[in-house]
């Protein structure tokens, strides 16, 4: 029996750890995975691995994973051939568009899309042909405020400054829990060691979070904040920096800073304190500590982008780094210089060129906010959405008011899902096209090298051969594109394989043919543990894509949003506010079907402070009913001293008890969906991003 060692980056989350995977050919000719370990020879991840990567073998062997196209006939699923499937899609979608217009077909792309390079290179080969304005993705339940802020301030939505975690002396984290998430818009394998290294070199870690998270637990200081009110805290911080003259000059050309200073003059630490629940003295001291450090990073992630003032938060984060001289500075925040550079090779994006039909929400980069998707299906009239294509997503569990979306999906004329599970969303599809599994295709990270804390690059071959009759995601898109082009009489430009595109990206990039590195696909194949291209360096002046090559500190649409902030209604004292959380053994909605990840005590409970429990006569472990404007769920409650009083925490991605879901292990421990409570009308109105955090709820005994 032949054993082989493979080196492979893990692309389940943003950390892109190197793995060493041992396979063995069996007597019957099949190949089995023997072990999955961290790759100590990857200089970036240094052997780090988490439990999700070990479960890659479970994804591979999962009997519930689809391996051929499935067509729904009534409540039955029937296998069909690929060509027949492509023909069916082309026929149904072209007919619907002919009858009702191009916008009658909507598209939703989920999170794994950006982790799968073939999806990145080829999804638009087909989806672009649909020419619909109803494009949606997980971006608007996640990081949209980051893109919008970078687009407005730096001229490109992907030009996002990354914490220089390995060199900083002070790290202020708001709304991120990297010990559970392994870092986000900060690709940082081995994050716990890197955070502790800050402390070892005499630096400080401060976490702002309504829950004493795993990251807060190792921090030097943890500050509780009222959910959804980080903007108030950040205004107080920035105001203190101005008022106490704590700023440091920047080498960058900046427009609009005086305008900002004047506009926020009234937002003092004292006036912001009640709103965010942080004492004014704490806010002022935080500003002083931040500037006293030789270098410092302010980093705000998921928890602060998915709230009512998410874009203001991300803008304020940028300004705090900028005003203290930490933007584009070693030990502060720096932009990457990736080997395949989407900032250099694409335009800066656009915002609010058109709006959603029903609620008038703004597009960003050609996509509309997903909170509008259900109403675009349910509201009759010209332009109503009648068909949907989902790609690597599960919006029923991952977008606000999932129950309303279910109702909308049920009324569609046609739905196609490109996914390998029959889950809470794809069960509504007429047709499911399953791609190869994660170890069956090769990998180059087009997305997360852009956000890594070092400049790194790595190409890896598939670990397992593509099974006979299977197609990769990109091949599915090529098949769909061809069938659709024939049906609609469009002449399709030829395409090439993803790896050839990467080869071109590498060779034309700044480490390519014209550089000393001479990077190409062939060169990367010789370095299966990845290549380190060095620490991040100051480079922003040369990378800015604004018209006058200056940083725009006071973009007009952001300045206009200050009014909305100032006018927000004061919160009711007695209401509980719902927030979310992640766990290292869970991955959004789709990794609950692997025994090794879900075994042990349940992790989907509602966390609640003991005082809030006793006030309601509730006890630890009991079943409770949680109610919001849009819905009600039942879930077990767990008492937790780590919660801020008045705040409850529920992880998203659970709620697998829906009929028709074919995920046997996930269904045994279904949990409840946080997004049966989140509200599609609660938005960061500026960007249209969903405000998933800070949702008012009531909790009572079930």
Spell out, one character per residue from 102 to 121, where the chain touches ligand SF4: x when CB under 6 A holds, - when not. --------------------
Tokens of 526: 């010789």
Distance CA 335, CA 318 (A): 12
Q: Are 172 and 290 in contact (CB under 8 A)?
A: yes
CA-CA distance, 581 to 589, in Å (whole number)?
A: 13
**Closest residue by Cα to residue 383 from 411, 356, 401:** 356
Binding mask 177-216 for ligand SF4 (x = CB under 6 A): -----x------x---------------------------
Six-digit token string for 471: 């197609």
User: Which among 497, 494, 496 is positioned nearest to 466, based on CA atoms?
Assistant: 497
**Whats the size of the chain, residue-wise?**
702
| Residue 666 Cβ vs ligand SF4, minimum distance, rounded to whole Å | 18
Q: Which residue is nearest to ligand MGD (CB)?
A: 303
DSSP class per residue in 248-294: ---SS-EESHHHHHHHTTT--HHHHHHHHT--HHHHHHHHHHHHHSS
| Residue 189 interacting partner from ligand SF4, Mo ion, ligand MGD, none (CB closer than 5 to 8 Å by kind) | ligand SF4
CB 34 within 8 A of CB 11: no
User: Cα separation of 406 and 410, whole Å?
Assistant: 6
How far apart are the C-alpha atoms of 224 and 211, rounded to whole Å? 7
- Separation between Cα atoms, residue 211 and residue 196, nearest integer Å: 20
Q: Within a 13 Å sphere around the CA of 607, how many CA atoms are in the beta-carbon half?
A: 22
CA dist 402 and 668 (Å) reads 21
Report the distance separating Cα 354 and Cα 688, nearest Å.
13
**12 lines the binding site for ligand SF4 (CB under 6 A):** yes
597 binds ligand SF4 (CB under 6 A): no
Which is nearest to 160 in space by CA: 144, 174, 169, 149? 149
Among 6, 7, 8, 10, binds ligand SF4 (CB under 6 A): 10
> How many chain residues touch ligand MGD (CB under 6 A)?
64
Task: Output the smallest distance, CB 661 to ligand MGD, in A.
Answer: 11
Q: Which among ligand MGD, ligand SF4, Mo ion, none contacts residue 12 (Cβ within 5 to 8 A by kind)?
A: ligand SF4
Q: Is the Cβ of residue 155 or residue 189 nearer to ligand SF4 in the bound state?
A: 189
Q: Which of 33, 53, 531, 606 binds ligand SF4 (CB under 6 A)?
A: 53
Q: Which stretch binds ligand MGD (CB under 6 A): 171-179, 283-291, 502-510, 526-534?
A: 171-179
The partner residues of 6 in beta bridges, in order of sequence, read 21
Considering only 191, 304, 319, 416, the residue that binds ligand MGD (CB under 6 A) is 304
Tokens describing residue 85: 């499937």
Choose the stretch contacting ligand MGD; rule: CB under 6 A; options: 174-182, 196-204, 547-555, 568-576. Answer: 174-182
User: Tokens 């609640």 appear where?
Assistant: 608
Site for ligand MGD in 124-143 (CB under 6 A): 138, 141-142
Q: What is the rounded end-to-end Cα distance, in angstroms, of the chain?
A: 56
Mask for 348-387, x = binds ligand MGD (CB under 6 A) = ----------------------------------------
Piece of the chain touching ligand SF4 by CB under 6 A; list 14-22, 239-247, 610-618, 663-671: 14-22
- Tell me if 142 contacts Mo ion by CB under 5 A: yes
Which one of 8, 17, 394, 696 is in contact with ligand SF4 (CB under 6 A)?
17
* Pairing relationship of beta strands 459-460 and 443-444 according to DSSP bridges: antiparallel
CB of 68 to ligand MGD, least distance (A): 14
In the bound state with ligand SF4, the residue whose beta carbon lies nearer, of 65 and 582, is: 582
Q: Does 42 bind ligand MGD (CB under 6 A)?
A: no
Residue whose CB is less far from ligand MGD, 543 or 652: 652
For residue 695, the number of C-alpha atoms closer than 13 Å in the C-beta half-sphere is 33
DSSP structure string for 292-309: HSSS-EEEE-HHHHSSTT
646, interface contact from ligand SF4, ligand MGD, Mo ion, none, CB < 5-8 Å by kind: none
Max CA distance (Å), the chain: 75
Three-state SS sequence of 424-490: CCHHHCCEEECCCCCCCCCEECCCHHHHECEEEECEECCCCCCCCCCCCHHHHHHHHHHHHHHHHCC
Subset of residues 628 to 667 that bind ligand MGD, contact rule: CB under 6 A: 652-653
Element (H, E) at 503: helix 498-508
Of 8, 21, 23, 50, the one binding ligand SF4 (CB under 6 A) is 50
Q: How many CA atoms lie within 13 A of 573 on its CB side?
A: 1
Rule CB under 6 A: is residue 15 a binding residue for ligand SF4?
yes
The Cα–Cα gap between 414 and 419 comes to 16
- Residue 21 or 388 having the CB closest to ligand SF4: 21
Q: How many residues bind Mo ion (CB under 5 A)?
A: 1
Burial letters for 62-81: b for 16+ Cβ neighbours within 10 Å, e otherwise? bebbbebbbbbeeeebeebe
Q: Check residue 49 for interaction with ligand SF4 (CB under 6 A).
A: yes
- Pattern 577-606, ligand MGD, x by CB under 6 A: --xxxxxx-xxxxx----------------
The answer to whether residue 121 forms part of the interface with ligand MGD (CB under 6 A) is: no
- Residue span binding ligand SF4 (CB under 6 A) among the ranges 9-17, 193-201, 504-512, 673-681: 9-17
Contact with ligand MGD (CB under 6 A): which of 23, 134, 187, 307?
A: 307
Question: What 3-state class would DSSP assign to 378?
Answer: helix
Rounded CA Rg of the chain: 25
Q: According to the binding rule CB under 6 A, does residue 16 interact with ligand SF4?
A: yes
By CB under 6 A, the residues from 344 to 363 that bind ligand SF4 are none
State the residues that interact with ligand MGD by CB under 6 A. 13-14, 110-112, 116, 138, 141-142, 174-178, 180-182, 184, 208-211, 213, 225, 227-228, 230, 301-304, 307, 391-395, 398, 418-421, 423, 435, 473, 579-584, 586-590, 652-653, 674-675, 678, 692-694
List interacting residues with Mo ion (CB under 5 A).
142
- Sites of contact with ligand SF4 (CB under 6 A): 10, 12-13, 15-17, 49-50, 52-53, 182, 189
């Amino acid at each position: 029996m032949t054993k082989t060692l493979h080196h492979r980056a893990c692309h389940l989350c943003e950390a892109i750890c190197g793995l060493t995977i041992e396979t063995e050919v069996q007597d019957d000719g099949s190949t089995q995975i023997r072990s999955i370990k961290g790759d100590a020879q990857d200089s970036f991840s240094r052997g780090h691995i988490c439990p999700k990567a070990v479960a890659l073998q479970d994804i591979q062997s999962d009997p519930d994973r689809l391996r051929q196209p499935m067509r729904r006939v009534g409540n039955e699923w029937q296998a069909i051939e690929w060509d027949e499937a492509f023909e069916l899609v082309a026929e149904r979608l072209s007919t619907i568009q002919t009858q009702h217009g191009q916008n009658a077909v909507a598209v939703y792309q989920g999170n794994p899309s950006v982790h799968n390079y073939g999806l990145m290179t080829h999804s638009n080969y087909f989806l672009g042909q649909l020419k619909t304005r109803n494009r949606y993705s997980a971006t608007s339940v996640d990081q949209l405020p980051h893109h919008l802020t970078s687009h407005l301030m730096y001229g490109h939505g992907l030009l996002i400054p990354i914490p220089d975690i390995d060199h900083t002396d002070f790290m202020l984290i708001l709304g991120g829990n990297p010990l559970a998430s392994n870092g986000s818009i900060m690709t940082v394998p081995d994050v716990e060691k890197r955070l502790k290294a800050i402390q070892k070199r005499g630096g400080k870690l401060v976490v702002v979070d309504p829950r004493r998270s795993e990251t807060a637990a190792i921090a030097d200081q943890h500050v509780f904040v009222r959910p959804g009110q980080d903007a108030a805290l950040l205004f107080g911080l920035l105001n203190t920096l101005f008022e106490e003259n704590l700023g440091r000059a920047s080498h960058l050309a900046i427009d609009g800073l005086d305008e900002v200073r004047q506009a926020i003059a009234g937002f003092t630490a004292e006036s912001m304190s009640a709103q965010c629940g942080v004492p004014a003295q704490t806010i002022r001291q935080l500003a002083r500590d931040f500037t006293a450090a030789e270098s410092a990073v302010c980093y705000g992630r998921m928890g602060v982008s998915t709230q009512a003032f998410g874009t203001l938060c991300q803008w304020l984060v940028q300004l705090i780094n900028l005003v203290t001289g930490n933007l584009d500075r070693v030990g502060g925040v720096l932009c990457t210089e990736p080997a395949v550079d989407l900032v250099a090779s694409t335009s800066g994006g656009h915002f609010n060129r058109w709006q959603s039909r029903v609620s008038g929400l703004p597009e960003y980069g050609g996509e509309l906010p997903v909170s509008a998707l259900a109403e675009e299906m349910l509201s009759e009239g010209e332009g109503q959405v009648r068909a949907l294509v989902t790609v690597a997503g599960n919006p029923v569990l991952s977008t606000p008011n999932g129950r309303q979306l279910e109702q909308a999906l049920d009324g569609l004329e046609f739905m196609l899902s490109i996914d390998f599970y029959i889950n809470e969303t794809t069960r509504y599809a007429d047709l499911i096209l399953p791609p190869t599994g994660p170890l069956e295709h090769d990998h180059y990270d087009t997305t997360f090298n852009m956000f890594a804390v070092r400049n790194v690059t790595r190409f890896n071959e598939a670990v397992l051969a593509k099974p006979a009759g299977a197609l990769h995601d990109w091949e599915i898109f090529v098949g769909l594109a061809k069938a659709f082009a024939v049906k609609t009489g469009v002449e399709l430009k030829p395409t090439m394989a993803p790896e050839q595109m990467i080869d071109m990206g590498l060779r034309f990039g700044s480490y390519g043919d014209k550089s000393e590195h001479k990077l190409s696909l062939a060169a990367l194949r010789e370095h299966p543990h990845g290549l380190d291209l060095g620490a991040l360096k100051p480079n922003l002046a040369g990378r800015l894509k604004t018209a006058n090559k200056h940083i725009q500190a006071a973009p007009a649409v952001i300045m206009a949003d200050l009014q909305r902030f100032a006018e927000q209604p004061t919160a009711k004292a007695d209401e509980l506010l719902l927030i979310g959380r992640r766990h290292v053994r869970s991955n959004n909605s789709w990794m609950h079907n692997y025994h090794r990840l879900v075994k042990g005590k349940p992790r989907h409970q509602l966390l609640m402070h003991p005082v809030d429990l006793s006030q309601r006569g509730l006890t630890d472990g009991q079943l409770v009913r949680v109610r919001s404007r849009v819905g009600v769920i039942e879930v077990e409650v767990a008492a937790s001293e780590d919660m801020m009083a008045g705040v409850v925490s529920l992880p998203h991605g659970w709620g697998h008890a829906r009929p028709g879901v074919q995920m046997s292990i996930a269904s045994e421990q279904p949990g409840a969906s946080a997004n049966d409570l989140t509200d599609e009308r609660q938005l960061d109105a500026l960007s249209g991003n969903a405000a998933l955090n800070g949702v008012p709820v009531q909790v009572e005994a079930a």
